[in-house]
Structure 1
Amino acid sequence: MARKVSPDWAAQALAEAGYNDSGFLRDILLSEFEHKSPAAVRQEAKVRSEAIFSSYDTLHEIMIRHEATIRKRWGKKIRPQRLKILLNAWPGMPVMHRPDFDAIRKCSARGQYLKADPQYRSEFIWPYINQEDLVQPKTLLLLLNARGRHPPFEFSGTDGAAMHLGHVTKAIIPIFLSKHVMIIDGATNATDYGRLISWEDHPHAFVWMMTRKQYLPGEGLLVLEAQERLLKFLVDCCKQILHDVPEDTLTTDAFPVQPEPAIHVEGESSGLGSLALLAAEAPYRVPTHLDLGRIVSLLGARESAAEDHLWALREDPSYFAEQLEDAKEHRSEMLKDINGDIHPTLRPGHETTFWARLIGQVVASAYAQLEAFSELRRQAKNLQELQQKHRSNIDPTKDLPQEYRLAILKFRHYADKLAQGHLAVLRDEVPASPPLRSRYVRCQPWNSTSSEMDIRLRRIVKGSTVELETNWLLSTLMVDGFSLFLISMPLILDELERLLQAEKSASDLLSARVAGTIGDLSILSQCINQIDLYLPWARTFEHVTLDQQNSIDKDYTETFAPWQEISAALQADDLQEVATLANPLRKKFFYPVEKRRTKENVETLRLAERNLDDVWDRLDRLMHAKCGKMDRTAARQLLSQPRILQRTPPWTAKAPVATKQQEQKLDDLDTLYRPLSTLYFGLHPQESKDAQDIQRTKQKTRGVPQQAQPPTSPSSPLDTELANTEPQPAPITVDSKSFKVFRTLFFNPESTSTPGEIAWADFLHAMTSTGLFSADKLYGSVWQFERSDGLGLGRIQFHEPHPRGKIPFTIARRYGRRLNRAFGWSGETFRVRRRG
C-alpha cells in the first residue's frame, strides 16, 4: 500500500542535527560570475597546460624507473613520516576525509554561505587530498601509479566531477566567457590541451559546448588548475621519498625503465572485498570503463535473492510470520499521535484493517522487488551484449552507437526511478523503526484511520556528534528535494556507509530492515554511478536524454504496467479474509523446525504449513482473478517453473537406522512436495487441496529406503522435475571450523546435537574457505558471494545480521535451503580436512 508521508520531519531532522538545509542553498543559482577576456583565458590556459605536461612528463619518467622503490620505501615509513612528506608537499592539507562535506556542515550549522569563500576553496577543488586518506599505506601509491602512467586528459572528467559539491554550493564559481569552448578531452599535448576555440572559428564549437563534449571555458580552467597543482604535489612527494637520488639523474637513463609492479587489490588474498573500499579508492585510481559485468553480477544476485524471498514467504511459515512482524514494526501506524494515543487501526476490533494493509504491503513489496531487479538485470545483460557488438565503434573521440546509447539512457532512467521508490520506503519506515520511533510523532486526528500520515519530530534532541552526523546523512537521503539533487545519492551513501562501518553507535540507529533497504539503494546507486562516470560520453547524456525522454517514459510505464495491476489487486479492502487467516499474533505459524521430530512436533509443523498454504491459495486466487496469468512478469516465470515447496510428511514411527549416513538420507527423502503455486501448473484453484498430496516419498522399513512410488501424473512438469535427479556436487573439503558452520546450515533434525547460532565472521570464513567464492561487502547489510573458481557462474547475496552479528539457527536453516537451491549443496557435500 503506497503511503504519502510528509518529508517535513526530515527537514526538521536536519535542523535538529544543526544543519540549516536552506542556508547554503538559498539563492544558489543567483551567483555572479567573474568575466574574463578570451586573451586572458588563453594565456592562463597556456601557462597551466605547459605546467601540467611538464609535471606529468617528470612524474611519468620517475614512475617507470622508480615505482617499485617508491612503494617499498613508503610502505616502511611510519605514520608521522608519511604525514611530514605530505605536508611538505601540500602545506595546510585538510585533516579529515571529504573536507568538502565537513565545510558544508560547518557553514550550514552557522547559517553561513559557502559562496566563493576562499577559506574552503581548496577543499572543494581537491576533496580527495586530505591527511586521513593519503596517510594510509596504499592511497598515495594508487594515485602516483594512476597519474604517472596515464595522460592528463583521461582524468579531466573525474577531476571536474570531483568539484560537484563546490559548484552546486557556489563555493567554487567558474569564470564566464561567452561564445567559446575549451578543448580538453582527447588532447595529448600542451599545445592542444586547454585550447580555447570561438564558435565563429570552428563549425562544431557550439555543438561541442551544448552537448558538453568539450568544456565551458570556466569549467576547463578549473580542471587545469586542479591538475596543475595535483601533479606538482605528486612530483614533490616522489622527490622526498627518493631524497638520496640526485634530481639531475632521477629521470635519466642512469636508471633503466622497470616493469610496472602489480597493484595489490585489498581483500584479494582473503576473498573478502568491500564496495565501500572500492568507492573510497576510486578518486585515486584510473577512471574505470563501464563495468557491465559488475552490474550484471550485482543485479543477478539481487534478483536471485528476490526470488528466494518470495519462495520463502510461500514455503516457510516462520519466515512469513517474521516478515509480517518486521514490516509491522516499521509501519507509521506504530507511531503515537501528538496526544500519545495509538493509531485507531491498532485498537481492539479494528485490527483486521491494519493486518490487511500490512499483508498487502509485504506481498506487493515481494513482487515489486522481483520485477524491479529482474528487469534491471535483463537490461544490464542486453547492455553487455550491445557493448560487445559495438566494441569496434566505441571511441572516446566519437559518439556512441545510437542503439547502445539509447539502451544506456533507458537503463539509467529505470535505475533512477527504482531508486526513488526505495528512497520513499526509507521516508516511510525510518521514523517508525524501533531505534528511532521515540523521536517522531503522528500529526493526525485521533479518529483518522487513513494510512496517509504527517510525521514530524517529537522534539529537538541534542545527541553525540556521531548521532548528529548519521541523522544528517539519513535526512538528506530522504528529503525529496534540492539537497539530495545537489549533493547526489552516491555521495551520501558513500559517506553513510563509511560512518556506519567506523562507528557502532551510528550502526545502532539503523534497524536490520532499514539497513537492507540501504543495501538495495547501494546496488541501484552503483548502477547509476557507473553510467554517470562513463566518460567522456556521460557528459552528453543529459542533453541527449531530452530528445528521448518521452519514449523512455512511455517504455517504463508499459514495462511495469503488470506490476501496477498486481499492486492494485492487493488493496486492503480485498484482503480482509486473508488478514483473518494471516494474523501471526494468533500463533498460526509457530514452526519449531529446530526441534527433534516427535508426533506432536510433526503435527505442529504440518498445521503451520497448512495455514500458510491456505493464505497463499487465497492470495493467488485474488491476484489471478484481477491480474490473470500475469504474463510478461518475472513472478509468472518464477511461479510457473517446476520448483517445489518442501512440506512435512505425516508422523510415522521409525525403526532404528543402521548409521548416521542412512539416517541423513532418510531424512532427505522423507519430505512432501507441492507446487510453488498451483495456478501456474495448469491446476484449477479448487484443486489446491489435492495438490498438497503431490509428493515424493520413500517408505522407511528397517532403515532401508525402498523405491519411490510412481508419480500420479507422469506428464506434469512437477513430475518431470522430480524424475530428473540433478547430479550431486563434488565433495568439498573444509577445515573443522567451517564444517561446523555447514553442519548447522544443513542441520539434520534427527541428530542428537542441538543447533546454535553462527557468528557472521565464521560464516564468511566458511564460504571463502571452500575456495569457490569471493565475498564482497556492499552497503547496508548486504554481502555478495560470487564464484571465483572459474568452473561455473553463480552468485548469492546474504544480509549480515544486525545488530548482534549472530545468525540464529532458524535463519541459518534458510541460508542452507538457499544454498541448496542455488548450488545443490547439502550436509553430505562437506568433509573435514584431515590434519597433517
Structure 2
Amino acid sequence: MDRMAYAEALSVHEAKTIVKSYADAIKDDSKYLQRMVTVHGNTIVNRWKKKSCDKRTKTLQTAFPCIFPTKRNFVHVHYDHADITWQPMREFREALLVPWLNLETLRDDSYKLLALLHARTKGLPEQWVAFDNHSMTASWVAGGLRTEYADCCVVLYGSNYDIIGFPRGRLILEAQSIILKTLRGTVEDLLLGVDTESSSSKWYMLVDSNFRGASGSIADQAFIAPIFDLDGLLNISKAAFHEAEDHLWLLQTDPVYLQYRAKLARQGWLSRGTGDRFLPHSSWMLCYKAFTTVQRWSWVIDEFEHAQAQRNRFWDNIECELLLINLLLQRVQKLGDCLPSFKRFSEDYKISDTGNAVRAKLNTDKFPTSKAMFYGDPLHWCIVQITADPEDPNNYDASMLLGFLTDWLNKDTTTAQNKQRLEPQILEILSEFATTYELLAALGERVPDEERSQGTERLAELLKIVELTPFPKSERDAAWLSKADEVRNNTSALWAHVRTIHASILKKHKFSTEKDYEHDMTMLSYDSAPEHLLALKLQRESILQPKKPATEDLSTLNISNRSKEKTKTRPEQQISSQLEAPGLESEDDPSRENQHKTVHIKSLNLPILSRMFPNTVEEYAAKPLDWRTFVSAMDDAGFAAMESGASAVTFLNTVDGGRIVFHKPHPTAKVEQFMLQAWGKRSDKWFGWTRESFVT
C-alpha cells in the first residue's frame, strides 16, 4: 500500500455529512466550555488543582481514552513504533493529529490544562485552523494519517475566510473535535454534583497571570490564544534589537565585558587545539558580527513598523515572513557550523583539517541512527534537529524542539556536567533562534574576502592585547586610572580597526548612502562618543579630588543619554519612528538627562539591586549572585520574569511598561558581578535606574 495514497473516495454527500458532524460537535462543545468557564471558573480551578496526579490521569483518560502517555507524540511514535516501516503510525491517529496533546503535559503541570481551556474558549475554532493545520504537518508528510478523498473543499469562515481541500480540512476538524471533547469531558468530571453557579474571580486572575507561566514561551503555542498582536510582535523585536545594541555598546565601552566575551570566543577547540590559528575568525565573529546582529534586528523592526503603518490599507499584501525565514536560516547555519568546534560536542564528529580549512562530519559510528542519538544523547539530538531546514515539513517542528530543550534542562536527572555542554555561545544562538521563530510563527500562523582576511589578522592581534590587559580591581586612585586608561586605549584601538574594516566593505560593494555610512560609524564609535568621553572625564576628576568621591560607576558611558534613533532605509515608504522602550519619555527631551525613576523595594532587596551600580572595592569584588535571588529582587521592583527560549529571560515592567532581556547564567545559575554591572547600565538606559533610585 502506498502511504501517500488516499484510502478511499467519498461522494460529496458523504463528505458533507462528515464535515457537518464535526462542525456541529465543535460548535456545541465550544459553547458549553465558554459557559462553564464563565459561571464555574473558580470550581474548575480549585477541583483540578486539588486532584493528585493519579486522579488527573483517570480524569484525562476517561475524557480521551486514546491520549498519548508522554510528551512529543510524533517523535515517540516514529522511533518506538514506526522506525522500520511506516504502517504502525496509522495506529496512533489521534496522537498524530494533535501531537502536542498528551497525558504527561496535562497531568504534571496543573496550569497547562487550565491554560488550554482558556485558549480554546477565548479563540474561536476558525482562529485555530492555521495552528492545528501546521501541528499535523509532519504526520501528514510522513503518511501517518489515513485520509479519504472527495471532490470538494471545506469553507472556513472568519476574519481570514478561506477554503481548504476536503482531505486536509477533514483532519483539521477532527483534530479540533478531539481537543474540545477532551476539555469537555474533563470539565464535566470536575463539575459533577455542582448545580449552583459560582464566581470566576480566580479564573480571571489566572488569565491575567498567563496561568503562572504555563503559556509564556514559543514552546507553549498550543496554550496561547491565537490573537494576532502586531504591537506585541513589534515590542518583541525592539527588545531583541535593544539587547543586541546594548551588547555592541558594551563591547566598545566596557573593557571587562569585552574581555569576558573574548574569552568565550576562544573556548572552542578551534582556538585551544590549534593555538591562535583561528583567532582572526573568532575576533571577526566577536566584533563585527555583533554589529550585523544589530542591523538584522533593525531590518525586522523596519518591516513590522511598515506593516503597522500599512495594515489598515493593504493588510492582505503585507509579507514579513521572507526576512524572518532568512534570519532563521542564518541562525540555523551558524549553529550547525559552530557546534563541532566545542569540546563537549567535537567528540561526536569526524574532523578533517586540511590546513586551509577544517571540516566536521557527524560520527555515525557512535550513533548510527537518529533514534540511537535520541535515546543515547538527547541534547545533541535536539540541537542537530534544530540545525535542519525549518522550512522542510519532513523535519521536526521548532517549537517542539525548543520545548524539548527546556524540559531537558529542567529535568532532575540531567547532570550539571551534561548541562555544561551548552556553552554560552550556543545558548545565545538558540535564544535568537527562539525569538525569530516566535515572530515567524505568529506571522504564519562562504568564499573569504582577501581584503577582509588581512584586516581580521590585525583584529586578532588587537583582541589578544585586550585579553592580556586585565581591568584593574584595586582602590580607585591615580595608579588605578593609569591602568584603566591603558585598557580603554587598547579597546579603542580594536574598535578603530573594526571601523576601518567596515568602511572598506561599504566602499568596495558601493551599497551605502552617506546617511547609512554615518549611521553605521556611529554605532561602531560608542567608545569615542562625546557622552562617554565626558563620563570618563568626570570619573577622573572625582577620583583625583578626594573631597568629591565617586558615588557611582562612571567607567563607561551612561547609556540613558545615548540616542536610540534608528536610521530608516526603506525608499519612499519611510515612517517616522523612535526606538524607545515603552513607557519612557523620548530622549529628545533635554530634561531626560537627570530624570531617574524612584523604585520602591523591600529592604532585603536593596543590597542586591545596588550591586548593579557598585561604588566600593568590596562591591566590585563581590561573589556571584544567585539567579533566583536576582529574579526575586527584580519582581519586587516590578519586573515579572518570563522565559523566552534557551537562556533568554524577558523581564516585563509591570509598572510603566517596557521589557528588557537578560540571559540566565549557565550551567551554574550565578550572576558574575561584572555582568550585574552591565545589566545596571542597560537598566539605566531603558528605565532610568541609578543606585539612588531604590527606596525602601
Aligned partners of 1:53 and 1:721: how far apart in 2? 53
Aligned partners of 2:297 and 2:591: how far apart in 1? 30
Pairing 1:796–2:676 present: no
The one-letter amino acid paired with 1:440 is Y
Per the TM alignment, residue 422 of structure 1 is displaced from its structure 2 partner at its CA by: 0.8
Partner of 1:760: 627
Partner of 1:159: 132
Aligned partners of 2:174 and 2:557: how far apart in 1? 71
Partner of 1:418: 327
Partner of 1:825: 689
Partner of 2:303: 379
Aligned partners of 1:59 and 1:824: how far apart in 2? 45
Aligned partners of 1:621 and 1:384: how far apart in 2? 37
Per the TM alignment, residue 626 of structure 1 is displaced from its structure 2 partner at its CA by: 4.3
Pairing 1:617–2:505 present: no
Aligned in 2, Cα 1:309/1:128: closer, same or farther, shift over 3 Å?
closer
The 8 Å contact of residues 138 and 393 in structure 2, kept in 1 or not, is answered as: no
Aligned partners of 1:830 and 1:98: how far apart in 2? 45
Deviations 1:19-48 (A, max 9, x none): xxxxxxxx9985455322323323333444
Partner of 2:246: 308
The one-letter amino acid paired with 1:218 is P
Aligned partners of 1:155 and 1:590: how far apart in 2? 55
| 1:494-509 correspondence runs (5 A) | 494-502=403-411, 504-505=414-415, 507-509=419-421
Aligned partners of 2:63 and 2:214: how far apart in 1? 31
The 8 Å contact of residues 148 and 167 in structure 2, kept in 1 or not, is answered as: yes
Per the TM alignment, residue 280 of structure 1 is displaced from its structure 2 partner at its CA by: 5.3
The one-letter amino acid paired with 1:525 is Y
- The counterpart of 1:782, out of the listed 648, 651, 664, is 648
Partner of 1:324: 262
Pairing 1:34–2:20 present: no
Which structure 1 residue ranges, 5 or more long, are not aligned? 1-26, 188-210, 336-341, 391-400, 534-563, 678-719
Partner of 1:443: 352
Aligned partners of 1:362 and 1:138: how far apart in 2? 41
| 1:394-793 correspondence runs (5 A) | 403-407=314-318, 409=319, 411-445=320-354, 448-450=355-357, 453-457=359-363, 459-460=365-366, 468-480=377-389, 486-502=395-411, 504-505=414-415, 507-533=419-445, 571-584=452-465, 587-592=467-472, 594-627=473-506, 631-632=515-516, 635-636=520-521, 638-639=523-524, 643-644=531-532, 647=536, 657=547, 663-665=549-551, 726-749=593-616, 754-771=621-638, 773-790=639-656
Deviates more, 1:575-584 or 1:312-321: 575-584
Per the TM alignment, residue 413 of structure 1 is displaced from its structure 2 partner at its CA by: 0.7
Deviations 1:760-800 (A, max 9, x none): 112212222112x232211111112232213xx54322111
| 1:73-472 correspondence runs (5 A) | 73-107=47-81, 110-113=83-86, 115=87, 117-135=89-107, 136-147=109-120, 152-178=125-151, 180-186=152-158, 213-244=162-193, 262-265=203-206, 268=209, 274=213, 277-279=216-218, 281-286=220-225, 288-330=226-268, 333-334=270-271, 342-343=273-274, 346=275, 351=276, 354-387=278-311, 390=312, 403-407=314-318, 409=319, 411-445=320-354, 448-450=355-357, 453-457=359-363, 459-460=365-366, 468-472=377-381
Q: May I ask how many residue pairs the two structures share in their alignment? A: 653
Q: CA RMSD in A?
A: 3.9
Per the TM alignment, residue 379 of structure 1 is displaced from its structure 2 partner at its CA by: 1.8
Describe the SS at the equivalent of 1:590: coil
Aligned in 2, Cα 1:568/1:796: closer, same or farther, shift over 3 Å?
farther
The one-letter amino acid paired with 2:680 is G
Aligned in 2, Cα 1:300/1:48: closer, same or farther, shift over 3 Å?
closer
The 8 Å contact of residues 340 and 360 in structure 2, kept in 1 or not, is answered as: no
Deviations 1:461-502 (A, max 9, x none): 699977622222111111348867542333322332333233
Per the TM alignment, residue 517 of structure 1 is displaced from its structure 2 partner at its CA by: 0.8
Deviations 1:49-98 (A, max 9, x none): 44444444555555554444333332332222222222222224221123
Aligned partners of 1:150 and 1:267: how far apart in 2? 16
Aligned in 2, Cα 1:663/1:89: closer, same or farther, shift over 3 Å?
same
Aligned in 2, Cα 1:595/1:744: closer, same or farther, shift over 3 Å?
farther
The one-letter amino acid paired with 2:651 is F
Larger Rg, first or second structure (1 or 2): 1
Per the TM alignment, residue 663 of structure 1 is displaced from its structure 2 partner at its CA by: 2.5
Per the TM alignment, residue 724 of structure 1 is displaced from its structure 2 partner at its CA by: 7.6
Deviations 1:148-203 (A, max 9, x none): 5765434344333332222122111322234x21223349xxxxxxxxxxxxxxxx
Aligned partners of 1:481 and 1:522: how far apart in 2? 12
Per the TM alignment, residue 276 of structure 1 is displaced from its structure 2 partner at its CA by: 6.8
The 8 Å contact of residues 493 and 522 in structure 1, kept in 2 or not, is answered as: yes
Per the TM alignment, residue 137 of structure 1 is displaced from its structure 2 partner at its CA by: 2.4
TM-score (norm 2): 0.82
The one-letter amino acid paired with 1:575 is T
Which structure 2 residue ranges, 5 or more long, are not aligned? 508-512, 563-586
Describe the SS at the equivalent of 1:238: helix
Per the TM alignment, residue 107 of structure 1 is displaced from its structure 2 partner at its CA by: 3.9
Per the TM alignment, residue 376 of structure 1 is displaced from its structure 2 partner at its CA by: 0.7
Aligned partners of 1:43 and 1:799: how far apart in 2? 53
Aligned in 2, Cα 1:532/1:583: closer, same or farther, shift over 3 Å?
same
Aligned partners of 1:732 and 1:487: how far apart in 2? 45
Deviates more, 1:224-233 or 1:375-384: 224-233
Per the TM alignment, residue 511 of structure 1 is displaced from its structure 2 partner at its CA by: 0.8
The 8 Å contact of residues 141 and 394 in structure 2, kept in 1 or not, is answered as: no
The 8 Å contact of residues 643 and 649 in structure 2, kept in 1 or not, is answered as: yes
The one-letter amino acid paired with 2:68 is P
Per the TM alignment, residue 432 of structure 1 is displaced from its structure 2 partner at its CA by: 1.3
Aligned partners of 1:360 and 1:752: how far apart in 2? 33
Aligned in 2, Cα 1:589/1:43: closer, same or farther, shift over 3 Å?
same
The 8 Å contact of residues 627 and 664 in structure 2, kept in 1 or not, is answered as: yes
Per the TM alignment, residue 260 of structure 1 is displaced from its structure 2 partner at its CA by: 8.1
